[in-house]
Amino acid sequence: MKKNPTKTITLKVSDNTKEKMVEYFEDKKRMKTPAYAVFQADEADTVVTLYESGKVVFQGISADIDASMWSQMEKHLNPDKKLELKKSDNEKLKKEKTVNPALYNCDAIGSDEVGTGDYFGPLVVSAAFVKKEDIPFLENLGVKDSKKMTDEKIIQIVPEIIKKIPYYSICLSNKEYNQEYGENMNMNKIKAVLHNKVLLNLASTHKYEKIIVDEFAKPYVYYNYLKDVSNVQRGITFTTKGEDASLAVACASLISRFIFIKKFNELSKELGIILPKGAGTKVDEIGASIVKQYGFDKLNEIAKVSFKNTEKIKDLLNEKPTN
């Protein structure tokens, strides 16, 4: 039986269409966002990535259907603009999935984080140790395609992963994050400190060939963040798209996401509100309602108040009601 071909379609959209897309995909966004992207989301069999430039990439079996829908929206909202739409032959794009066997097929410690783009919910950093003989087990679970997993799938498979794969995680609450954050401690420095801690923990107890980190800062910047730390893990391989490059990084990402989801759901239950992920307009609205009910002290416990959302929440609270 012949498989349906995967398609890749690129569409350039205007700002008004971007706004419609952000609103439409608010509840379909993935937790991790590629560099320079506004969001990445799942729509049935299509992965949709909207970039800050206005470029939208539709990838998947039904990419043409979704691209067609948003092309029509772009034409409707901007009838005088020429439509920019490109289709790619995915047979020629197979090279983008190449993997470096030296990183993939080795005993590796990998680390990754979750929660950096979420106003609510903690910052979770994990490291995982994957041996070569674990690779078939993880591939069968679907870890190789971890970026495609829904929250439901993550909750299902991570308990199976942690039975077999050694890991170490740090979950930094937003109260702790707000205490750490300041003039000399930005988000990336906090991440570097936490990555260093989880890597040191596993590296001291496991015999590894590689340590791989999903790159969020250039190596010299990363190590500069740690210049005042007494014990620093060296010999790290930094790579973009770390989840594709190494199953250790993919496991670390999934474990971090699993912990994040659990904590996020606990917080929603505690407040009696379904908290939105990310940092969009819904976050501002919910944040304002939380402040009205509990005050700003509560926001300091549950949100990363350094985000621009805090000022937007203040603006919403200061708006005068219209008659």
Cα–Cα nearest to 236, from 245, 294, 44, 23: 245
Query: What letter represents residue 23's amino acid?
Result: E
What is the domain-level CATH number for residue 64? 3.30.310.10
Residue 62 forms part of a structural domain: yes
Q: For 70-128, what is each residue's pLDDT tens digit? A: 999 999 898 888 888 888 755 444 434 567 899 999 999 999 999 999 999 999 999 99
Do both 148 and 242 map to the same domain?
Answer: yes
Residue 1 forms part of a structural domain: no
186 backbone dihedrals φ, ψ, rounded to 5°: -90, 180
Do both 261 and 278 map to the same domain?
Answer: no
Q: For 257-283, what is each residue's pLDDT tens digit? A: 999 999 999 999 999 999 999 988 999
Do both 124 and 257 map to the same domain?
Answer: yes
User: What pLDDT score does 96 carry?
Assistant: 44
User: What pLDDT score does 145 carry?
Assistant: 66
Q: Which residue has the tokens 């680390």?
A: 111
DSSP state of 282: H
Do both 42 and 59 map to the same domain?
Answer: yes
Task: Work out how many domains the chain is built from and give that number.
Answer: 3
Residue 2 forms part of a structural domain: no
Do both 77 and 138 map to the same domain?
Answer: no
Do both 257 and 274 map to the same domain?
Answer: no
Buried b (16+ CB within 10 A) or exposed e, 136-150: eebeebebbebbebe
Residue 286 forms part of a structural domain: yes
Residue 147 forms part of a structural domain: yes
Do both 137 and 201 map to the same domain?
Answer: yes
Do both 144 and 291 map to the same domain?
Answer: no
Do both 61 and 137 map to the same domain?
Answer: no
Domain boundary pick from 39, 55, 89: 89
User: What pLDDT score does 320 carry?
Assistant: 52
Do both 142 and 83 map to the same domain?
Answer: no
Do both 30 and 157 map to the same domain?
Answer: no
Q: What is the rounded distance in angstroms from the CA atom of residue 290 to the CA atom of residue 285?
A: 9
Domain boundary pick from 89, 116, 144: 89
User: What pLDDT score does 6 carry?
Assistant: 72
End-to-end CA distance of the chain: 64
Residue 163 forms part of a structural domain: yes
Do both 221 and 289 map to the same domain?
Answer: no
What is the domain-level CATH number for residue 148? 3.30.420.10
Residue 94 forms part of a structural domain: no
- Angle subtended by helix axes 281-294 and 309-318, to nearest 10: 60
Q: What is the mean pLDDT of each run of 10 residues along the chain (323 residues)?
A: 69 92 89 84 89 90 89 89 78 54 94 94 97 94 79 93 97 96 92 98 97 94 96 95 92 96 96 91 95 95 95 87 45
CB 298 within 8 A of CB 279: no
| Residue 79, token pair as written in the block | 């009838």
Residue 117 forms part of a structural domain: yes
Q: pTM higher than 0.95, yes or no?
A: no
Domain of residue 222 covers 101-266
What's the Cα-to-Cα distance from 253 to each of 76, 111, 125, 265, rounded to whole Å? 40, 7, 8, 18
Domain boundary pick from 244, 266, 288: 266
